[in-house]
């Protein structure tokens, strides 16, 4: 019965998306048809029409986030083509991002140019469970290996989150308050404006939920794992003169989350008194100069971030009880100098070039164990890159780039990128293709912890990827369709040998296991997208991913990568402030483990959302997430967040 309802909903959404009569006379303004012809910055690190980049970039606009009332950035990413998100329980729990099948630590995440990949984690992934939606202008998801422009950690791609700044008024603001299921409360405040030479944007958010018991074995409503999160962003630009501007940006999150554990005597995943406190503080300062009517631009920036994660809950084998004492901690810092230049040689040729130097440090320790040795480590990575882009006869755009990285630990690595985009004479069709290299340096934990390789220094993971696709617009630019085939091969993947039953030389020196280079994998498949705006007040979307991600050594499927994933939805927004919409997501069956012995069932979720204006500046918000209460486990042993109802108010100042 459930699959019948969802199938009927998909059919209705697709029919409505192509119906020219839907609200044709409403006079609403959900956007313009130009929204289907995007300008992006992530693909080339400069503003470019998407049709010229030759790359696959998905754009989630701030208007999309507002209309769909999405609270967590990972929920928005999960609705994007080529992307899978696994969250082990409710908000605040461990959240993993898979872009085109790449491992979680293999996708770079930026907020206003600040890398938020955490050097204190074992795999270097971004801590997405603490990243909430607030004052976001747009999110760009660049898929495929991107190390030529972004260096390490960009094998799967790049997620670039850009916050709001400036505007036509000295001050515009927004306040939002919501509450609902699982004891959830959310408060947001944001302000933007332009005052003379200053453009600014700033926001603060607070989120608190009782949550659910993340461990499936703990039972429904038993010892829920709560989450409390405070976050803030700042984005300022001062135009010191006609040629010089100064940028100051900041990002901060502070969270406390209950987490399940493996308490004795069974040592099985279940509810426990353990909890995590985490902080991330990052800053960005840059000076940009522009000369020759903007044809030459130079930027010098300093970027710094620090993370601090502390785990609490120590089991006492004498009293058979937990104490709230600190169990362990992990601190990571990243400091980076960044220089980038742009030279517009002519109207059809430009050269982008730059250099970076980054120092990462790590300190971690397990406190109750008197025999444990604190892990400390540091690594410096320096690089330089160049990229040339030319447009021939206003139809064919060619891009070529190269980068060289020097790492203090493993030495040098070079990356190459080639891309082409050909806009056919009809003006509505673009053929595109690109090739890119990717690499990921071993994390500090992999290099310096008690599980480091005792036999040889770890080498970087490397990847080679390519794609070919076609984009076509029709119905007077009211509909845009895309089809892409992609392939990526990875080598020297880092795996962990737990030394269970192994007698090799490494296990003789690391009896509890160690990291080593051995893996080789391939991910390939097809992505299809359809975006339509049949009338100005209605927008619809549909995307479909068909992917095979396999371990080349075993022939088995990579863990938690579904073969099929799809998303669709429709949203209507009137100029009066009223809106209504629905979305549907499907994540296909997959395996939870590398041995393919623990299957995960397919998951289908439906959400509905809407707003109603009380006045010109105040709206009532309402949404239902997971309408049909899907309970498929997102990861083995973990519960999914069930049906949830939320309501609130949004005020524009």
Specify the CATH number for 2-652; select among 2.40.170.20, 1.10.3720.10, 3.30.70.20, 3.30.300.30: 2.40.170.20
- C-alpha to C-alpha distance for 437 and 389, rounded to whole angstroms: 18
Mean pLDDT calculated for residue range 96-110: 95
- C-alpha to C-alpha distance for 323 and 321, rounded to whole angstroms: 7
Q: What is the pLDDT of residue 445?
A: 94
Q: How confident is the model over 110-145, as pLDDT tens digits? A: 999 999 999 999 999 998 888 999 999 999 999 999
- C-alpha to C-alpha distance for 12 and 20, rounded to whole angstroms: 14
* pLDDT tier at 409, thresholds 50, 70, 90: confident
Mean pLDDT calculated for residue range 552-581: 94
* pLDDT of residue 383 exceeding 80: yes
- C-alpha to C-alpha distance for 33 and 44, rounded to whole angstroms: 24
* pLDDT of residue 603 exceeding 80: yes
Burial of 325 (0-12, 13-18, 19+ CB in 10 A): exposed
* pLDDT tier at 19, thresholds 50, 70, 90: very low
* pTM summary value: 0.91
Q: How confident is the model over 480-533, as pLDDT tens digits? A: 999 999 999 999 999 888 888 766 888 989 888 999 998 899 999 999 999 999
Mean pLDDT calculated for residue range 23-42: 51
Q: What is the pLDDT of residue 28?
A: 31
DSSP assignment letter at 585: E
What are the residue ranges of helices labelled H in 127-173? Answer: 147-150
Among the residue ranges 154-168, 325-339, 367-381, the one predicted with the least confidence is 367-381
* pLDDT of residue 30 exceeding 60: no
Q: What is the pLDDT of residue 194?
A: 97
One-character DSSP codes across 59-93: EEEHHHHHHHT--BHHHHHTTSTTEEEEESSSTTS
Within 8 A by CB and 6+ apart from 391, the residues are: 52, 348, 349, 397, 398
- C-alpha to C-alpha distance for 193 and 217, rounded to whole angstroms: 50
* pLDDT of residue 29 exceeding 70: no
**β pairing state of 157-163 and 107-111:** parallel
Q: What is the pLDDT of residue 96?
A: 94
DSSP assignment letter at 588: -
* Contact (CB, 8 A) for 442 and 410: yes
Q: What is the pLDDT of residue 591?
A: 97
Give SS3 for 105.
Answer: helix
* pLDDT of residue 21 exceeding 50: no
Q: Is 166 left (phi over 0), alpha (psi -120 to 50) or beta?
A: left
**Residue extents of the structural domains in the chain:** 2-652
* Cα radius of gyration (the chain): 25
Residue 340, number of CB atoms within 10 A of its CB: 20
Mean pLDDT, the chain, as a whole number?
89
Angle at 94 between CA 91 and CA 96, to 5 degrees: 105
* pLDDT tier at 372, thresholds 50, 70, 90: confident
Q: How confident is the model over 137-170, as pLDDT tens digits? A: 999 999 999 999 999 999 999 999 999 999 999 9
Burial of 461 (0-12, 13-18, 19+ CB in 10 A): buried
Helical (H) or strand (E) element with 395: none
* pLDDT of residue 25 exceeding 60: no
* pLDDT of residue 17 exceeding 50: no
Mean pLDDT calculated for residue range 179-188: 95
């Amino acid at each position: 019965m459930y699959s019948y309802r969802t199938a009927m909903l998909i059919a209705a959404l697709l029919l409505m998306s192509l119906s020219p009569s839907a609200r044709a006379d409403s006079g609403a303004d959900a956007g313009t048809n130009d929204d289907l012809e995007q300008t992006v910055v992530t693909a080339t690190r400069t503003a470019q029409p998407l049709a010229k980049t030759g790359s696959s970039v998905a754009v989630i606009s701030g208007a999309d986030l507002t209309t769909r009332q999405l609270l967590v950035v990972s929920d928005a990413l999960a609705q994007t083509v080529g992307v899978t998100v696994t969250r082990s329980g409710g908000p605040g729990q461990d959240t993993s991002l898979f872009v085109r099948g790449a491992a979680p630590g293999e996708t770079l995440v930026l907020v206003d140019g600040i890398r938020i990949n955490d050097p204190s984690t074992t795999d270097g992934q971004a801590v997405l469970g603490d990243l909430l939606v607030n004052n976001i202008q747009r999110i760009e998801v660049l898929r495929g290996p991107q190390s030529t422009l972004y260096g390490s950690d960009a094998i799967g791609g790049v997620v670039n989150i850009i916050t709001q700044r400036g505007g036509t008024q000295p001050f515009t603001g927004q306040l939002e308050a919501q509450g609902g299921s699982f004891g959830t409360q959310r408060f947001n405040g944001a302000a933007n404006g332009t005052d003379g030479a200053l453009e600014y944007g700033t926001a603060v958010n607070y989120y608190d939920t009782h949550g659910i018991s993340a461990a499936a074995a703990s039972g429904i409503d038993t010892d829920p794992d709560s989450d409390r999160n405070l976050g803030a962003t700042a984005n300022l630009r001062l135009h010191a003169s006609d040629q010089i501007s100064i940028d100051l940006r900041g990002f901060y999150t502070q969270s406390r989350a209950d987490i399940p554990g493996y308490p004795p005597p069974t040592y099985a995943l279940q509810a426990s008194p353990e909890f995590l406190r985490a902080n991330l503080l990052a800053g960005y300062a840059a000076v940009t100069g522009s000369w020759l009517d903007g044809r030459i631009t130079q930027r010098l920036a300093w970027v710094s971030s620090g993370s601090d994660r502390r785990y609490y809950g120590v089991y006492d084998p004498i009293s058979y009880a937990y104490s709230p004492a600190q169990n362990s901690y992990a601190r990571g810092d990243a400091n980076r100098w960044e220089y980038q230049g742009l030279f517009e040689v002519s109207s059809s040729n430009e050269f982008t070039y730059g250099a970076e130097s980054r120092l990462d440090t790590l300190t971690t320790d397990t406190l109750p164990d008197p025999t444990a040795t604190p892990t400390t480590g540091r690594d410096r990575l320096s690089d330089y890159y160049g990229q040339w882009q030319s447009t021939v006869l206003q139809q064919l755009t060619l891009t070529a780039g190269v980068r060289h990285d020097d790492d203090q630990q493993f030495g040098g690595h070079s990356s190459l990128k080639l891309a082409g985009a050909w806009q056919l004479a009809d003006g509505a069709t673009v053929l595109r293709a690109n090739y890119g290299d990717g690499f990921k340096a071993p994390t500090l934990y992999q290099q310096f912890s008690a599980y480091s390789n005792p036999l040889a220094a770890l080498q970087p993971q490397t990847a080679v990827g390519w794609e070919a696709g076609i984009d076509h617009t029709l119905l007077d630019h009211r509909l845009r369709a895309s089809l892409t085939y992609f392939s990526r091969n990875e080598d020297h993947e880092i795996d962990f040998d737990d030394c269970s039953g192994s007698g090799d030389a490494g296990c003789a020196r690391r009896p509890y296991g160690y990291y080593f280079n051995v893996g080789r994998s391939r991910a390939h498949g097809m992505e299809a997208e359809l975006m339509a705006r049949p009338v100005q007040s209605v927008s619809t979307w549909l995307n479909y991913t068909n992917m095979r991600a396999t371990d080349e050594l075993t022939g088995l499927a990579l863990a938690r990568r579904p073969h099929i994933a799809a998303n669709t939805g429709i949203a209507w927004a009137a100029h009066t402030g009223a809106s209504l919409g629905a979305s549907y997501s499907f994540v296909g069956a997959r395996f939870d483990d590398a041995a393919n012995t623990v299957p995960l069932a397919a998951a289908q979720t439906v959400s509905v959302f809407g707003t109603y204006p009380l006045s010109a500046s105040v709206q009532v918000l309402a949404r239902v997430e997971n309408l049909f209460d899907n309970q498929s486990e997102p990861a083995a042993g973990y519960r999914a967040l069930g049906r949830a109802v939320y309501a609130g108010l949004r005020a524009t100042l």
